Amino acid sequence: MILSIESSCDDSSIAITEIETKKVVYHKKISQDSEHSKYGGVVPELAARLHSEALPKILEECKPYFEAIRAIAVTNEPGLSVTLVEGATMAKALSISLHKPLIAVNHLKGHIASLFIEEDAVFPMITLLVSGGHTMVLKVEDFFRYEVLASTLDDSFGESFDKVAKMLSLGYPGGPIVEEYAKRGDSARFDFTIPLYNSNRLAFSYSGLKNQVRLTIESLGELTKKEKEDICASFQRVAIAHLMHKIKKVLKTKKEDIKTFSIVGGASANLTLRESLFGLCREFGMDLKLAKLEFCSDNAAMIGRYAIEAYKMGYFTNIEDLKVSPKVKEG
């Protein structure tokens, strides 16, 4: 079995996965949403302190499995340095005390592996990764070979939901709250423009849309609940239209004979986004592959799923080489 740890942002999570069967025999996640909500976003130092309390508590429950553990996997990039360190330190300590090798896992590769938790993988695919830190379209050849086809120039898709929620004083994380408000709102009420619409660039941009929302909020003064719902609905419509517009361009130029489109990351839980992508996949004759809802947001089971493949390939990391990094390293 592999014991995997995830602490790249505000979720403390540990999973234990059987290497041969890919079965997740243990998985726990302690989220910090309520602690960060009053600040309208994640406070890194607070997140680190909460990880240092939560991770040992979860690990305590994993003790019965220790004898069966063959490797320790941990997210080492990208993420918040102060929170990544919490997981990495625990992983190093376990590696030394259990005499088992370490596997450093890139968080984004973990999100991609979330599609195949407890199942066999199907490649190649075009994947949309939408999280709080990233918005990318990738060509995924297998667990280890990826090509970035488009990414964001500024804010990410999920981050823009968080920022809109903050401007409307709706709490954190913004994605699920904005989606809920949007259900009751009139999406045609505010005519926000779709970012980069007249540009041929295969790229995303969300900071301009966020500013359009800000200006609208300022012009309205004190907001009624109905106005907040209409802002959320109009914002969500345009945020998704932007994704669809650029993904369509990617598929027209890069699809080749790839038959699977997948979507991963916390924001892939958005049902309106899922519906729009179903439509797009139908148009391009592709199957849409989704992760189970419980594995869309950050979790250690996805880190474990990637680690199974790394373990089989012998991709281990020396303890002195395990470094955390807020960014994805080149190459």
Binding site for ligand KG4 (CB under 6 A): 9, 131-133, 158-159, 161-162, 173-176, 179, 265-267, 269-270, 297-298
The amino acid occupying position 94 is L
Largest separation between any pair of C-alpha atoms in the chain: 62
**Coil/strand/helix, residue 188:** coil
Task: Say how many residues touch Zn ion, by CB under 5 A.
Answer: 2
Residue 280 Cβ vs ligand KG4, minimum distance, rounded to whole Å: 17
- Residue 155 CB, nearest approach to ligand KG4 (Å): 10
The rounded distance, in Å, linking the Cα atoms of 300 and 281 is: 29
Q: Pick what 270 binds: ligand KG4, Zn ion, none; C-beta below 5 to 8 Å, kind-dependent.
A: ligand KG4
Closest to Zn ion by CB, 131 or 152: 131
> Is 303 in contact with 5 (CB distance < 8 Å)?
yes
- Per-residue b or e along 97-120, where b marks 16 or more CB atoms closer than 10 Å to that residue's CB: eeebbbbbbbbbbbbbbbbbbeee
Rounded CA separation 153/172 (Å): 23
- The binder of 89, among ligand KG4, Zn ion, none, by C-beta within 5 to 8 A per type, is none
227 makes contact, choosing from ligand KG4, Zn ion, none, with CB < 5 to 8 Å by partner type, with none
From residue 83 to residue 122, the character string flagging contacts with Zn ion as x (rule: CB under 5 A) and all else as - is: ----------------------------------------
The contacts of residue 224 (CB under 8 Å, 6+ apart) are: none
- The residue (of 131 and 135) whose beta carbon lies closer to Zn ion is 131
Report what 185 binds from Zn ion, ligand KG4, none; CB cut-off 5-8 Å by kind.
Answer: none
**Least distance in angstroms from the C-beta of 252 to Zn ion:** 28
166: which 2 tokens? Answer: 């903050």
Angle at 29 between CA 26 and CA 31, to 5 degrees: 175
DSSP string, 119-181: S-----EEEEEE-SS-EEEEEE-SSS-EEEEEEESSS-HHHHHHHHHHHTT--SSHHHHHHHH
Quick one: 11 or 229, whose CB is closer to Zn ion?
A: 11
Residue 267 binds which of Zn ion, ligand KG4, none (CB < 5-8 A, kind-dependent) = ligand KG4
**What, of Zn ion, ligand KG4, none, does residue 174 touch, CB below 5 to 8 Å by kind?**
ligand KG4
Among 6, 11, 227, 298, binds Zn ion (CB under 5 A): 298
User: 179 vs 229, which CB is nearer to ligand KG4?
Assistant: 179
Q: Which is nearer to ligand KG4, 174 or 304 (CB)?
A: 174
269 binds, among ligand KG4, Zn ion, none (CB under 5 to 8 A by kind): ligand KG4
With beta carbons less than 8 A apart as the criterion, state whether 100 and 69 touch: yes
Tell me if 131 contacts Zn ion by CB under 5 A. yes
Can you tell me the distance from the alpha carbon of 304 to that of 5, in angstroms, rounded to the nearest whole number? 8
Check residue 317 and report its DSSP letter.
Answer: B
**Whole-angstrom Cα distance, residue 178 to residue 264?**
19
In the bound complex, what is the minimum distance in angstroms from residue 119's beta carbon to ligand KG4?
Answer: 20
Chain contacts with Zn ion (rule: CB under 5 A): 131, 298
